[in-house]
Amino acid sequence: MRGRRLASLLAAIAFAAAPIAANAQQDATEREIERYREMISDPFSNPGYLNVDRGEAFWKTARGTKNVSLETCDLGQGPGKLEGAFARLPRYFADADQVMDTEQRLLWCMEKIQGLDTKDIIKRKFSPSNRKSNSDMEDLVAFIANKSNGEKLSQPLTHPKEKEAFLIGQELFYRRSATHDFSCQTCHGDAGKRIRLQALPQLNKHGKDAQLTQAAWPTYRISQSQVRTVQHRIWDCYRQMRMPAPAYASEGITALTVYLNKMAEGGEINVPSIKR
Amino acid sequence: MRMMKLFAAAAVFVLPAIAFADDRADMAKVDKVYADMFRDAKGEWAKRIELDETQKACSEYRNNLPQAEFEKVLKREKANVVMPADGKVMGDWKSGEKIAQSGFGLRFNDKPGTISGGNCYACHQVSKTELSFGTLGPSLLEYGKIRKFDPEEAKRTYAQIYNSNAVQPCSTMPRFGHNKVLDEQQIKDLVALLFDPESPVNK
């Protein structure tokens, strides 16, 4: 049984990677990828759930100069309360007087609560593709986001700084620059477009596209054999836009995330998902 | 009364999800956040985050320029077009096809000196033989044939690839020549891909 399952899985991978010869073939491929996704979305076969387990261990392990765990870290719902926290991030935190996303908040807790030097953590922000995972952050975010499964994305904009972040994110979305004059809008400003055969979600309008996109990160990326978070997705977008690498857990990425999550409000979280 | 209640209910129902989406952020703050996001960029990379006048206008107006701005961008970008000194705009379509296929170059993970592609297929249907094409731009099938292989149209096309904004301000397409993504010969090869009667675009 196990062997057969593995064989069909491998067949599906091979099929998904095969070159596409015609539109009919393309539809068949899409269906097959969808079937593969459903199959692997099972928590017992999605490798992203290994990150969730490791993330839990990181959350509970005493570290740093204060030799304590992260279990008293407040992600917006009270110290140590994880259920539904990710669904309501980024948000304003009075103790830091700042709007923070999950990564920023985790780094803040590591420094303030654990007395942990985050330089090394940030250096390992993204695990190398197709090698052994080595990112505490990818694991922690997968663990925390997973605790919001079944919850609907809700972007708070009640605090003036949250509203400000939304408006800054909106400007960044439309900002054209670098050698190719690209902005986020170039690829994500219309419905039903694609790059080559890759469908592009429209992200500057509240609706299904944005909901399905934002509620599906972190995701296990088959092509990279790693769990990736929104931080990585935006970093990769800027790479393709011929921009410099954006700073990890910077205010700008958080502002963009606030904007995107507002467009995605109501999207039901089911993570780690699985993507190409 | 009942009608009014109904209207009120409808008004609540159709209220936009984001009531202040038309508000704009303080630009000085946006610039600060933007500069901070790319704080690690040095040298040539730092220059990439500086917006030129056209990028500023297209960003601010989200590509819908008011008439006066439209004229300004058009005039400025037209003046930026450099046509080939030898007056010839047609190169080799076979090499053009390779340039149209390639998405390499100028990304932060590309080796410095990597020859850039035009990546035309990412956004356009170009030839009948390549089925993996994007839809952000219009189809270019039979581009030259439709234009009766008119040499003036070929020159106009060279200018448009060199600087899309000289034809259409705030175009989605990069200004390939103006921003030195592609060199003169590469643009000539792309014009040939579109205008050579032997090219798969026109076959």
Model pLDDT for residues B36-67, shown as the tens digit of each residue: 999 999 999 999 999 999 999 999 999 999 99
Is the per-residue pLDDT at A65 higher than 70?
yes
Residue % of chain A over a pLDDT of 70:
89
Give the lowest-confidence range in A34-38, B69-73, B79-83, B189-193: A34-38
- The length of chain A is 276
Average pLDDT over chain B, rounded to an integer: 92
3-state SS, residue A188: helix
Given A196, A206, A247, which is nearest B134 (Cβ)?
A196
Interface predicted TM-score (ipTM) of this complex, two decimals: 0.91
3-state SS, residue A246: coil
What predicted TM-score, i.e. pTM, was given to this entire model?
0.89
B1 Cα to chain A: minimum distance (Å): 33
Looking at residue A29, its pLDDT comes to 66
> Which one-letter DSSP state was computed for residue A110?
I
Does residue B169 have a cis bond before it (omega within 30 degrees)? no
3-state SS, residue A274: strand
B76 Cα to chain A: minimum distance (Å): 16
Contact A137, A121 (CB under 8 A): yes
3-state SS, residue A228: strand
Contact A62, A113 (CB under 8 A): no
Residue B58 CA: distances (Å) to CA of A264, B69, B185:
25, 9, 29
Show the tokens assigned to B103.
């998405």
CB of A122 within 8 Å of a chain B CB? The answer is no
3-state SS, residue A114: helix
Looking at residue A23, its pLDDT comes to 60
CB contact under 8 A, A171 and B30: yes
By CB neighbour count within 10 A (0-12 exposed, 13-18 middle, 19+ buried), where does A264 fall? Answer: buried
Contact A114, A106 (CB under 8 A): no
Query: B residues 50-109 near A, CB within 8 Å?
Result: 50-51, 54-55, 58-59, 62-63, 106-109
Give the lowest-confidence range in A35-39, B65-69, B137-141: A35-39
Which residues of chain A lie closer than 8 angstroms to B131, CB-CB? 20-23, 26
Residue type at B147? R
Looking at residue A6, its pLDDT comes to 44
Is the per-residue pLDDT at A67 higher than 90?
yes
Which residues of chain B lie closer than 8 angstroms to A196, CB-CB? 121-122, 132-134
Residue type at B110? D
In terms of CA atoms, which chain B residue is nearest residue A262? B18
Contact B96, B198 (CB under 8 A): no
Convert the pLDDT of each residue in A221-262 to its tens digit: 989 999 999 999 999 999 999 999 999 999 999 999 999 999
Quick one: which of A138, A106, A147, A121 has its CA closest to A224?
A138
